[in-house]
Amino acid sequence: MTTPVRVVASNIIHRVIQGESLHTLLPSALDAAATVDRPLCQELVYGTLREWPLLAPLCQSYMKKPLRRKDSDIKTTICVGLYELSHLNTPAHAVVSETVNAARALGKSWAAGLVNGILRNHQRRSEPLSDSLSLAQCNAMPDWLFDQLVAQHGDRIDDIATAARSRPPMVLRVNNTQVTRDDYLGHLAETGIEAIPCSEQQAGITLAHGVDVMRLPGFLKGWVSVQDQSAQCVPQLLDPRPGERILDACAAPGGKACHLLEHEPALDELVACDISESRLTKVAESSQRLGLQIKTVVADARELPRNILSTPFDAILADVPCSATGVMRRNPDIKVLRRADDISGFAAQQLAILRGLWPALKPGGRLLYVTCSILQQENDDVVRLFGREQAVTTAPLELNSGLPTALGWQTLPRADGGDGLYFALLQKS
């Protein structure tokens, strides 16, 4: 028996608010909804979480007193309804009716009147939100994060906040070892999938609308992969060369490792390591689908095993764990779960990874440090601290989008463009 779609969405969001990771719980939690309802359920979950820092205080503003802790699922249900009213094309009367029914399905019929009243009051609202909410809340951003982004990125905050509230475009990376981009654009046109080439990436294609990957021509044959255009900058910056050995130190799920081999098939060896054995299987699956040879090793980049350290690499890719503040539109639970004091913990982990990888790099070799963060504490600050410990030279970088930093390059998230990624190229003396 399936559960009403708005109840499923509310339950998922409620679990995230309680501290669970959306990425971990979503695949199995969606099974509670009917198959036909799952796209709507996913839209409600992602959309509500992207707007949560705005919706939660907005919901509270309609109440005379806060709900009891045990009734926080009603608040979540109301926020789902507020999101659907404001952002989807569902008729308003249907949104109100179905959200009220969701409250009843949760076993809380007493809340039906409250839910109905708040949603109808929101429909009639005339005064601007800024009258009762902070600037950070109006931009659907946690106060601490909004303040840091304003301090670090100034007048770019509007674009960053807009991107964090947007659905990301679906971008493809053509496997040039099997098909050219022009030919693949032709295959897409024949299939009726509207697309344009990425102006910033030679192998990139942006779809007008997202589609199931199984609809993509030649997907199972390895013609194409899904990858954000900012992430497609890695081969350009690391510059893999024929005969080199390269280590991808935090490789899962494998998109960047595969792209390096697509860009330079004449590598002598590409080794992909990751601390998670289960996630590393995704690297093997992707490389097999794309027809690429990648050696996988389960290892912690902070403490590499001797068999990896024994033969140093020409180049290393370190796409390290981070706050993911540059990809909030893809990981909207960050707006709920991330805290200001988390950032120093990530920075310490990132510095430990650089320390662990450096012995695996040949003298004269290069290491590309990558985060999907737009916070300086995880980016330039980490590279600067590491440079005080080791004989490191940072090479100047330049991309078609983004801006230079003191030690690297930062792309910023754009609603119609790529994610926010940081790159620094470290060279070993």
Active site residues: 372
Whether omega before 253 lies within 30 degrees of 0, making that bond cis, reads yes
Would you say 269 and 255 are in contact if contact means Cβ atoms under 8 Å apart? no
Distances 418 to 169, 286, 333 between C-alpha atoms, Å: 8, 22, 19
Using CB atoms within 10 Å of the CB of residue 162, give its burial: 0 to 12 exposed, 13 to 18 middle, 19+ buried.
middle
CB atoms within 10 A of CB 189: 12
Largest CA distance in the chain: 70
- Give the strand pairing for 422-428 and 392-395: antiparallel
Q: Which of 202, 184, 292 is nearest to 248 (CA)?
A: 292
* 3-state SS, one letter per residue, for 10-66: HHHHHHHHCCCCHHHHHHHHHHHCCHHHHHHHHHHHHHHHHCHHHHHHHHHHCCCCC
Distances 267 to 263, 270, 311 between C-alpha atoms, Å: 10, 7, 16
CB atoms within 10 A of CB 386: 22
CA Rg value for the chain: 23
Q: Which amino acid is at 324?
A: A
Crossing angle of the two packed helices 72-87 and 112-124, in degrees rounded to 10: 30
Would you give the DSSP letter of residue 127? S
